[in-house]
Structure 1
Amino acid sequence: MGQFDEDGIARRIVASIRARIDEGVWQPGERLPSTRSFAAEWGASRTTVTAAYGQLVAEGYITTRPGARAEVAAGLGRDVVPAAPESAPPRQLSAFARRLADLPAPAPARVFRIADFRYGDLAGADFPVLAWRRVMNTVLLRRPDRLAYGDPQGVPALRRALADYLWRARGIRCGPDRIIVVNGSQQALDLAARLLLDPGDRFVIENPGYLLARGAFAAAGGVAVPVPVDAEGLSTDRLPSARLAYVTPSHQFPLGGVLSAARRRALLAWARAGAALIVEDDYDGEYRHDVAPVPALQTADPARVIYVGTVSKTLSPALRLGYLVVPADLAPAFAEARRVTDRHTALIGQEALALMLESGAYERHVRAIRRRNAARRAVLLDALAGLPVTVAGAATGLHLVVWLNGVPAGREAAVIAAAAAAGVGLYPVSALYDPAAPRPETAGLILGYAGLDPAAIRRGVAVLARVLGR
């Protein structure tokens, strides 16, 4: 009999004895069979039974004495341990947990055989496998003398490289001491929510807007104040008093507007007047298809704007690598929050990204993937050209919005269901509006295209055309 079989028999003996004690068959103080007789009963060696008894001694189920048989330990048995209740008692969850439970449940993931226009996905073929493998190999071959925890604020080399990159790509002037490396932009939003809001504090959020940002601030106890958006972004003439504002000024999510110069000034003036902070989510600022990149809002007032960046839309959302640029006086609080919650982002991934940035490989990749996604966008716009739709927000980012002309909002779910039945995943704009605020009267869809090849885009739009034709 092999070691694997002996180990399996020992585990079954342990489970059997536990069950007999828990069910009251053997009572505290009662002697167990000798190892010899138990071995004969189970057809196992005495060595195996002795090992099982040793495990039960370690768990506190039995006690042994030299020259005597093992006994059931005191305090066990059915008469001592009550049976589990039929149903578990109500859990005493924290207020944070109860607020999480009140958030909308995520839609179940589905696989669509023709095309899935879900926003946020990237094409697997676009990932720079060779460049990433090269930097990962370099990091792994360094073999440090000690494997230790790192700086909760982020690997210094990565923060230096990010500071240089942000100046070149987004016009942001900042030192490494103001950069906090995080597990994707969602952790950035969670940290901002918990460090800047107390329960009951109001926060401004775009309507429609990013649901997971709203969820992070609401889970911290914040009270959402939705503000409408239009082609120029957030409507700054309707700003109420609030502790902070969450905005996507370079590419409003989801409608695609760019915050105009006048409204940028108005938003910053509002923040200064009310001693508020602005959280700028630059989630896909690398993608400008028709015009030059718009400067980050943070460049206009570094003391009032917290900048959130990510590589989820350039490399992969699976890497969970993002960063914040915070005012200098807030950096210690953010770094300490990182240390307490999860210490730091995985060091190997941070060091690999630092090497990509330092070598120029990251920016070469961004230029290449920008061209590929511009080509996908062109295919999508061409396919939509003959449909009765109005396209919005196509000049930037990795998605666009289509309003279905002549289709009332009440038919939006039916369109999506019909497309799903035909093998195409479509997603409504209406779900991104505040539940208490007015919604558009026309059905609308948000179409992400970065995860699709041109043929799948054409087939998916053809299905949409057939659905609308009905």
Structure 2
Amino acid sequence: MTESWVDAAERIGADLHLEVAGPGGRRAALIRALREAVRSGRLAPGTRLPPYRSLAADLGVARNTVADAYAELVAEGWLTARQGSGTRVADRAEPVRHAVRTPGRAPVRARGPRHDLRQGTPDASEFPRAAWQASYRRALQQAPNEVFGPGDPAGRIELREALAEYLARARGVRTEPGRIVICSGFAHALRLLFGGGVLRGPLAVEAYGLGFHRELLAAAGVRTVPLPLDEDGARVDRLGRERAVLLTPAHQFPTGGPLHAARRAAVVDWARARGGVVLEDDYDGEFRYDRKPVGAVQGLDPERVVYIGSVSKSLSPALRLGWMVLPGPLVEEVLAVKGEREAWASVLDQLALADFLSSGSYDRHVRRMRQRYRGRRDRLVAALAAQAPHIEVTGVAAGLHAVLRLPPGTEPSTVKGAVWQGIALDGLSAFRHPETDTQAMAAIGAMGAMDGLVVGYATPPEHAYEAALEALCGVLPADHSA
């Protein structure tokens, strides 16, 4: 069987986000992209580049194209290549430093289910205990004495530096440590931005999203306005007089699919013209299976996009570690709201994560889990094809959950049946914004009121997964069209 680009990329090489486009063919475009990544500082001196085969698989180009590009840049002095050491950014390839002005409640769920197919959490049994322990031990041994005193509200510099390097390399984020503020997760970021008055509403949000976030915003006095969704993501052309927009561009939550490239550019243009802000929730951007990586919208305009991420999906929500990459003018405002003392994220956990990132353990863990979750996804799709072929599965090219489209009117009874069978999952309607005008959405070809299930395939431990799939298929509505 022919090995896919995903198979090859998972086996070897770290993630590296590059935009390979423009005149002169793929080789010339790749050379330009790599040269610019080094020049801008996204790839720091000494950074080891992925092997030819790994990068070629990620970008969908020939192996020789990558080999030729590396050779050209070695000849120009941008890269170095040594036997046994791989290809690295040359020490003298110093980047250009740019001046930066840095100055609804979630659905109710059954307790103690026999089969946990809830979205939003990784497999807790796969937490990398040994690697994390090693990073924690190194961080503790190397920590300066000041670590055990009052903290910096921005977060430890070691973590902010490691995140700046990783996010630039793997997600195409353009930033520096001074623009990163550590927080305890996405909800904490929203509280800092809106609860503290740094940003104000009205806020446009996707018509499907987490009710918990909407309730949090409502408690801060922020009105949310739903944006229609279609197969290309949020209809950003429907943005009006809102001051900001919250999007999940890499993988729309929960319906799936990336925001179309034209709409990514359009929402940045809107923010520039309106003087508004785009909030980018990159909640599971590391996990993609049947498509090439989608870079962060933040890379299009760092002064108009607030990029928010965390380790809740990649490692564990128990760590309570997240980050905001902010436009320069917002940094001091966020820090003022946060206060003089860091009371949210353990400094030692921050140092451990910094080591985990810098040592390559995070890359290795993500690649391993990407393979594991893709296998889970494939088994879910295969089980449905065999036992419920009339049920359409969508949103499975990336992420940790799938959407199962149900016949109209069957969602409530299916969710109730799942509860009776000890299956914890969510109905799709639970994520729909309450002010969504389904008739207006249908008129423009957008997603209206749909019946469905949101099924998390990452949550169950491996030994319980087959039984969970069997139970799920047993509660799905029958095909009455046959």
Whether these two folds match at TM > 0.5 is yes
Deviation digits for residues 314-370 of structure 1 (CA, Å, limit 9, x no counterpart): 110100000010011111111222225854521000000011111111111111111
CA distance in 2, matches of 1:461, 1:399: 13
Q: Which residue of 1 aligns with 2:79?
A: none
Q: Secondary structure at the match of 2:476?
A: helix
Deviation digits for residues 89-135 of structure 1 (CA, Å, limit 9, x no counterpart): xxxxxxxxxxxxxx65751551111x211011221221100011112
With over 3 angstroms needed to count, the CA separation of the structure-2 counterparts of 1:145 and 1:204, relative to structure 1, is: closer
Deviation at 1:441, TM superposition (A): 5.0
Q: Which residue of 2 aligns with 1:47?
A: none
With over 3 angstroms needed to count, the CA separation of the structure-2 counterparts of 1:181 and 1:469, relative to structure 1, is: closer
Is the CA contact 1:182–1:323 (under 8 Å) kept in the aligned structure 2? yes
For 1:83-122, list aligned pairs within 5 A: 104=105, 107-113=108-114, 115-122=115-122
Q: Which residue of 1 aligns with 2:71?
A: none
Q: Which residue of 2 aligns with 1:269?
A: 269
Structure 1 unmatched ranges of 5 or more: 1-102
Deviation at 1:310, TM superposition (A): 0.8
Q: Secondary structure at the match of 2:303?
A: coil
With over 3 angstroms needed to count, the CA separation of the structure-2 counterparts of 1:342 and 1:466, relative to structure 1, is: same
Deviation at 1:173, TM superposition (A): 2.0
CA distance in 2, matches of 1:187, 1:257: 26
Q: Which deviates more from structure 2 when the two are superposed, residues 212-221 or residues 386-395?
A: 212-221
Q: Which residue of 1 aligns with 2:152?
A: 151
Indicate yes or no: 2:442 matched with 1:450.
no
With over 3 angstroms needed to count, the CA separation of the structure-2 counterparts of 1:109 and 1:136, relative to structure 1, is: farther
Q: 1:463 aligns with which of 467, 471, 477?
A: 471
Is the CA contact 1:380–1:458 (under 8 Å) kept in the aligned structure 2? no
CA distance in 2, matches of 1:304, 1:126: 37
CA distance in 1, matches of 2:473, 2:373: 23
Deviation digits for residues 147-195 of structure 1 (CA, Å, limit 9, x no counterpart): 3111110100110010000111011121100001111122112212233
CA distance in 2, matches of 1:105, 1:300: 32
Q: How many residues align?
A: 362
Q: Secondary structure at the match of 1:414?
A: helix
Deviation at 1:458, TM superposition (A): 3.3
For 1:251-330, list aligned pairs within 5 A: 251-330=251-330
| Paired AA for residue 296 in structure 1 | A
Deviation at 1:216, TM superposition (A): 2.8
Q: 1:395 aligns with which of 397, 418, 442?
A: 397
Larger radius of gyration: 1
With over 3 angstroms needed to count, the CA separation of the structure-2 counterparts of 1:232 and 1:264, relative to structure 1, is: same
Q: Which residue of 2 aligns with 1:434?
A: 433
Is the CA contact 1:250–1:294 (under 8 Å) kept in the aligned structure 2? yes
CA distance in 2, matches of 1:419, 1:381: 19
| Paired AA for residue 113 in structure 2 | F
Indicate yes or no: 2:164 matched with 1:163.
yes
Deviation digits for residues 227-273 of structure 1 (CA, Å, limit 9, x no counterpart): 11111111122112111000000000010121111111211111111
With over 3 angstroms needed to count, the CA separation of the structure-2 counterparts of 1:456 and 1:118, relative to structure 1, is: same
Indicate yes or no: 2:413 matched with 1:414.
yes
Q: Secondary structure at the match of 2:358?
A: helix
Deviation digits for residues 344-399 of structure 1 (CA, Å, limit 9, x no counterpart): 52100000001111111111111111111111111111111131211111101111
With over 3 angstroms needed to count, the CA separation of the structure-2 counterparts of 1:333 and 1:441, relative to structure 1, is: closer
Is the CA contact 2:105–2:214 (under 8 Å) kept in the aligned structure 1? no
For 1:20-99, list aligned pairs within 5 A: none
Is the CA contact 1:153–1:179 (under 8 Å) kept in the aligned structure 2? yes
With over 3 angstroms needed to count, the CA separation of the structure-2 counterparts of 1:187 and 1:442, relative to structure 1, is: closer
Q: Which residue of 2 aligns with 1:220?
A: 220
| Paired AA for residue 351 in structure 1 | L
Q: Secondary structure at the match of 1:418?
A: helix
Is the CA contact 1:403–1:445 (under 8 Å) kept in the aligned structure 2? yes
Is the CA contact 1:193–1:216 (under 8 Å) kept in the aligned structure 2? no
With over 3 angstroms needed to count, the CA separation of the structure-2 counterparts of 1:170 and 1:143, relative to structure 1, is: closer
Is the CA contact 2:251–2:285 (under 8 Å) kept in the aligned structure 1? yes
Q: Secondary structure at the match of 1:408?
A: coil
| Paired AA for residue 470 in structure 2 | A
CA distance in 2, matches of 1:196, 1:143: 33
Q: Which residue of 1 aligns with 2:97?
A: none
CA distance in 2, matches of 1:398, 1:422: 23
Deviation digits for residues 31-82 of structure 1 (CA, Å, limit 9, x no counterpart): xxxxxxxxxxxxxxxxxxxxxxxxxxxxxxxxxxxxxxxxxxxxxxxxxxxx
For 1:130-209, list aligned pairs within 5 A: 130-142=130-142, 144-145=144-145, 147-194=148-195, 195-198=197-200, 201-209=201-209
CA distance in 2, matches of 1:392, 1:221: 34
Q: Which deviates more from structure 2 when the two are superposed, residues 171-180 or residues 450-459?
A: 450-459
Q: Secondary structure at the match of 1:437?
A: coil
Q: Secondary structure at the match of 2:453?
A: strand
Is the CA contact 1:408–1:441 (under 8 Å) kept in the aligned structure 2? no
With over 3 angstroms needed to count, the CA separation of the structure-2 counterparts of 1:121 and 1:177, relative to structure 1, is: same
Q: Secondary structure at the match of 2:475?
A: helix
Instruction: Kindly report the root-mean-square deviation, in angstroms, between the aligned alpha carbons of the 2 structures.
Output: 1.9
TM-score by length of 1: 0.73
Q: Which residue of 1 aligns with 2:354?
A: 354
Structure 2 unmatched ranges of 5 or more: 1-103, 439-447
Is the CA contact 2:198–2:334 (under 8 Å) kept in the aligned structure 1? no
Indicate yes or no: 2:431 matched with 1:423.
no
Is the CA contact 1:426–1:445 (under 8 Å) kept in the aligned structure 2? yes
CA distance in 2, matches of 1:158, 1:129: 19
Is the CA contact 1:197–1:220 (under 8 Å) kept in the aligned structure 2? no
With over 3 angstroms needed to count, the CA separation of the structure-2 counterparts of 1:127 and 1:105, relative to structure 1, is: closer
CA distance in 2, matches of 1:250, 1:341: 33
Q: Which residue of 1 aligns with 2:331?
A: 331
TM-score by length of 2: 0.71
Q: Which residue of 1 aligns with 2:30?
A: none
Q: Secondary structure at the match of 1:309?
A: strand
Deviation at 1:303, TM superposition (A): 0.6
Larger relative contact order, structure 1 or 2 (CA cutoff 8 Å, min sep 6): 2
Q: Which deviates more from structure 2 when the two are superposed, residues 120-129 or residues 208-217?
A: 208-217
CA distance in 2, matches of 1:385, 1:265: 37
